[in-house]
């Protein structure tokens, strides 16, 4: 009889495990974010009346973020290099009628030109008197094998993605420390967690951000009012690949990998939930990219599993490995 009860319990546990795994396959964000989306603060309450400075606001995720924030009545500062595109985004944000002309500042800025960041910060403070949220979103990527990538491309990736973000954060930080209030958001990437071929320099620039901001968080221990959110999206619809550097890489050699891209609007909805709830480190991706990240981060012997006979094929399909 004991034996029967044991096997029934084991079967139930197995069923629960299978159900848990199957429901995981519906998720498009990590569990902390999912919990916040169900039980946490909603963005409408937490973000209304804030002053939000977004870099990389001229397209993709930054543009959509500006658009969704404009619906919440948030004052916006839109930055990127292309002023005309920023004006277009501003007009789009004004269309929904929640903001007035004076609530949106278009502030062209080159992340690589760190000497201009201090003046830009002063301009925002003069206009709105405060910066509640800095969204370090602007960035560039590349799609080329290491052997084909020119050193200049590696330098630009570090200058824009890493040094540009560090510089702007350093300019805004003293103001936030004075008030002991503010949110700093950093757009990293799942590529900085799970290696993928053709983006060595991009992954390195995002990993550098991780190191810098992890340490900054420990240094802000005495400033509990300042929070840091690191967002790691997987593939999202945007212009990032059209704008990516390709080195002397020819497109015909790009691996035929399904990219499982997420809609930009969905990605931004989830980013807003994480902002509203001050989540520290979040993953956003469609399946199976999210599953791949969990496997990479948490499953022991992952290399052995992924390099086995069938594992190599799975790795190739999931874009973890590149075979010539
Ligand atoms: N899409 C994805 O699959 C994905 C996944 C993970 C992470 N991300 C990250 O998400 C962020 C936004 O990318 P996206 O996907 O929305 O790509 P995107 O559509 O190409 O947008 C990139 C933005 O960055 C700006 N930018 C590029 N170089 C700049 C510079 N030197 N100075 C100032 N702004 C600059 C661009 O504007 P200008 O050209 O006008 O300067 C543009 O507004 C990036 O940090 C990217 O690494 C994207």
Lowest mean pLDDT among 57-66, 241-250, 297-306: 241-250
Angle between the 60-71 and 264-276 helix axes, to the nearest 10 degrees? 60
Residue 3 lies in a domain: no
Atom of ligand 1 nearest to the CA of 58: 43
State the angle between helix axes of 60-71 and 83-95 in degrees (0 to 180), rounded to the nearest 10. 30
Share of the chain above pLDDT 90, in %: 72
Domain-embedded: residue 196: yes
Please give the pLDDT value at position 132. Answer: 98
Kindly state the tokens that stand for 171.
Answer: 């300019």
Rg of the Cα atoms in the chain? 21
pLDDT at 86: 98
Note if 202 is an active site residue.
yes
Q: Provide the percentage of residues in the chain whose pLDDT is more than 70.
A: 91
pLDDT at 293 over 60: yes
Q: What is the mean pLDDT of residues 189-204?
A: 91
pLDDT score for 194: 87
Task: At 196, list the tokens.
Answer: 């993928």
- Give, using CA atoms, the residue closest to atom 7 of ligand 1: 189
Reduce the DSSP state of residue 126 to 3 states and report it.
Answer: helix
Q: How far is the centre of ligand 1, averaged over its atoms, from the C-alpha of 37 (Å)? A: 25
pLDDT for residue 81: 98
Inside any domain, residue 300: yes
Q: Tell me the C-alpha to C-alpha distance, in Å, between residue 312 and each of 191, 199, 212, 288, 297.
A: 19, 19, 33, 16, 18
* Ligand 1 atom with minimal separation from the 159 CA: 31
Q: Would you state the pLDDT for residue 25? A: 83
Does residue 166 form part of some domain?
yes
The stretch 24-53 carries a mean pLDDT of: 92
DSSP 272-322: HHHHHTT-SEEEE--TTHHHHHHHHHH-TTHHHHHHSHHHHHHHHHTTS--
- Rounded CA separation 262/257 (Å): 15
Full DSSP string of 256-269: -----PBPHHHHHH
Altogether, the residues listed in the chain come to a count of 324
How far is residue 125 from each of residues 120, 130, 139, 314, measured CA to CA in Å? 9, 5, 24, 51
Given this model, what pLDDT does residue 241 score? 84
Distance CA 279, CA 218 (A): 15
Q: Which atom of ligand 1 is nearest to the CA of 111?
A: 32
**What's the mean pLDDT in 54-74?**
97
The verdict on residue 18 lying in a domain is no
Mutate to test the pocket of ligand 1, among 28, 54, 55, 56 (most ligand atoms within 8 A of CB): 56
Distance between CA atoms of residues 321 and 324, nearest Å: 10
In this prediction, residue 278 has a pLDDT band, given cuts at 50, 70 and 90, of very high
Residue 172: predicted pLDDT: 98
pLDDT digits (tens, 9 = 90+) for 138-186: 999 999 999 999 999 999 999 999 999 999 999 999 999 999 999 999 9
Mean pLDDT for the chain overall: 91
* Contact by Cβ (8 Å): 76, 52: yes
- Domain membership flag for residue 143: yes
Measured in angstroms, how far is the CA atom of residue 59 from the centroid of ligand 1? 7
Ligand 1 geometric centre to CA of 297 (Å): 26
Residue 184 is part of a domain; what is its CATH number? Answer: 3.40.50.720
Domain of 149, in residue numbers = 26-317
Say how many Å lie between the CA of residue 187 and the centre of ligand 1.
Answer: 9
Beta-carbon neighbour count of residue 123 at 10 Å?
A: 14
Q: How confident is the model at residue 307 (pLDDT cuts 50, 70, 90)?
A: low
Ligand 1, CB cutoff 6 Å, lining residues? 55-62, 80-82, 85, 109-112, 137-141, 160, 187, 189, 233, 235-236, 238-240, 243
Burial class (CB in 10 A: 0-12, 13-18, 19+), 305: middle
CA proximity to 28, closest of 244, 281, 186, 262? 262
Coil/strand/helix, residue 111? coil
Question: Which of 79, 89, 139, 290 to probe ligand 1 with, by most ligand atoms within 8 A of CB?
Answer: 139
Does the structure show a pLDDT above 60 at 256? no
Determine the pLDDT at residue 64: 98
In a domain, 14, yes or no: no
Please tell me the distance from the alpha carbon of residue 75 to that of residue 128, in angstroms, as a whole number: 8
Catalytic residue among 202, 223, 298, 310: 202
Pairwise pLDDT comparison (108 vs 256), residue with the higher score: 108
pLDDT of residue 300: 78
Q: With 50 as the cut, is the pLDDT of residue 253 above it?
A: no
| Closest Cα to atom 45 of ligand 1 | 139
Banded pLDDT at 106 (limits 50, 70, 90): very high
Residue 251 pLDDT greater than 50, yes or no: no
Q: How confident is the model at residue 309 (pLDDT cuts 50, 70, 90)?
A: low
15 falls within a domain? no
Structure tokens at 277: 């709830």
- The number of domains in the chain is 1
Composition of the chain by helix, strand, coil, percent to 5: 55, 10, 35
């Amino acid at each position: 009889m004991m034996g029967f009860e044991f096997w029934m319990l084991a079967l139930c546990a197995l069923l629960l495990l299978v159900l848990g795994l199957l429901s995981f396959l519906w998720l498009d964000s990590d569990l902390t974010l999912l919990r916040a989306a169900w039980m946490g603060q909603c963005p409408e309450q937490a973000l209304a009346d804030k002053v939000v400075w977004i870099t990389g606001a001229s397209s993709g995720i930054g543009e959509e973020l500006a658009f969704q924030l404009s619906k919440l009545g948030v004052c916006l500062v839109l930055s990127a290099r292309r002023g005309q595109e920023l004006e277009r985004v501003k007009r789009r944000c004004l269309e929904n009628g929640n903001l007035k002309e004076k609530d949106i500042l278009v502030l062209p800025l080159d992340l690589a030109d760190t000497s201009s960041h201090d003046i830009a910060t002063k301009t925002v403070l003069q206009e709105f008197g405060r910066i509640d949220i800095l969204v370090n979103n602007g960035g560039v990527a590349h799609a080329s094998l290491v052997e084909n990538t020119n050193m200049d491309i590696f330098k630009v990736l570090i200058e824009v993605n890493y040094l540009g973000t560090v510089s702007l954060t350093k300019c805004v930080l003293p103001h936030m420390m004075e008030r002991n209030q503010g949110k700093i958001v950093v757009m990293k990437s799942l590529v900085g967690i799970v290696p993928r071929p053709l983006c060595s320099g991009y992954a390195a620039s995002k990993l550098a951000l991780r190191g810098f901001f992890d340490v900054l968080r420990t240094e802000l221990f005495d400033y509990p009012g300042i929070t840091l959110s690191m967002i790691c999206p997987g593939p999202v619809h945007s212009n990032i690949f059209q704008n990516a550097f390709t080195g002397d890489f020819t497109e015909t050699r790009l691996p035929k990998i399904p990219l499982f891209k997420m809609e930009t609007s969905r990605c931004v909805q989830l980013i807003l939930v994480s902002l509203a709830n001050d989540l520290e480190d979040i993953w956003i991706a469609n399946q199976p990219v999210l599953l791949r990240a969990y496997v990479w981060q948490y499953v022991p012997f992952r290399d052995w599993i992924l390099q086995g006979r069938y594992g190599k094929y799975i790795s190739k399909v999931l874009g973890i490995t590149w075979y010539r």
